[in-house]
Copies of this chain bind each other. A is one copy, B any other.
Amino acid sequence: MRIEGSWIIEKHTDNVLYLYRVKNHIYHGKTPFQEVSLVELEAFGKTLFLDGKIQSSQIDEAVYHEALVHPAMVTHPNPKKVLIMGGGEGATLREVLRYPVERAVMVDIDEQLVKLCEAYMPEWHRGAFYDERAELVFTDARAYIENSKETFDVIISDLTEPIEGGLSVMLFTEEFYKKVYGRLSEDGILVVQSASADIYYSNFVANVYTTLKQVFPIVKVYHAYITSFQLDWAFTFASKKYDPEEVDEEAIKNKISKFENELKFYTPQIHGALFKLPKYLKENIERNGRVIRDERPEIWQS
């Protein structure tokens, strides 16, 4: 192989590094909130790095965003109002808008990032930002939740991991989730991207799971492998009323029939399988979690 040339190094952990060969440098800069690199990787196509970590790549952004959005959207019988916290690229919004919702609010603190995504990453949003049902709000998600009176059927937490000094530290605590609970309709559902489900990292998802259990009657972790993260990824499903494992395949099939052809990952058959966890993960979330509170928020260690 030819080793020479331009690479990006990503720190998976202190003990595992990834090197990606760069085909093309598209954008590099800093917003008021984070460092943004948009490059075309030979391996994954166009790829967004925030603060040095891959957020989303062309090869498999659909996998992540479908896994994040569809289980909640098909479990709720009739989601009309949806709130997305984070989700800068616009792809979470795109997946939500496939459904006949009336209103989808996306709250992201980093307006400049969203503008960059709008301009440079049309493959992600595909026009979702211009949908009449969509509203974009540029503020801190916690402030939005605390100040809003509106209720939503589905709330999607599409936030970055809570790194030390980062934007998301106060968005994974019991106190916050209680406020989110208050902004959900009576049969509302919250889904939280919960970082790696890997043997390594699974304490984070264990803590998110344990924390949500304090607030919601039905809490389940599900998982999907994300190529460009090179990790099995966890999502936590928290629900006031509906159990995602009780939705049958036929019902899902009907709900997604209009756009099923456009999906790359999610199918009616895989829905239930996502909730079946490897034994090590199942045991870990059941045994090793702690309740995350404002006074001692969770900091992501990598």
Q: Which residues of A contact B (CB under 8 A)?
A: 1-11, 13-22, 24-25, 28, 37, 41-43, 51-53, 59-60, 63, 197-200, 223-225, 227, 230-232, 263-267, 269-270, 272-280, 282
Contacts and interface: CB of A to CB of B under 8 A. Distances in A.
A181 to B, nearest CB: 29
Given A5-B52, A25-B25, A266-B279, 14 more contacts: A1-B3, A3-B17, A4-B51, A6-B22, A7-B8, A16-B18, A19-B19, A43-B200, A60-B199, A225-B232, A225-B278, A232-B232, A267-B279, A273-B276
Contact of A16 (B43, B63, B273): B43
B25 A21 contact: no
Contacts of A273: 272-276
A267 B283 CA distance: 11
Contacts of A198: 225, 227
Q: Give the 3 A-B residue pairs with the shortest CB-CB distance, closest first.
A: A4-B52, A273-B276, A273-B273
Contact of A200 (B227, B266, B272): B227
A87 to B, nearest CB: 22
A11 to B, nearest CB: 5
> Within the oligomer, what is the number of copies of this chain?
4
A217 to B, nearest CB: 21
Given A8-B6, A17-B3, A270 B276 contact: yes
Given A199-B227, A276-B272, A277-B270, A4 B11 contact: yes
Nearest to A266: B279
A36 B136 CA distance: 42
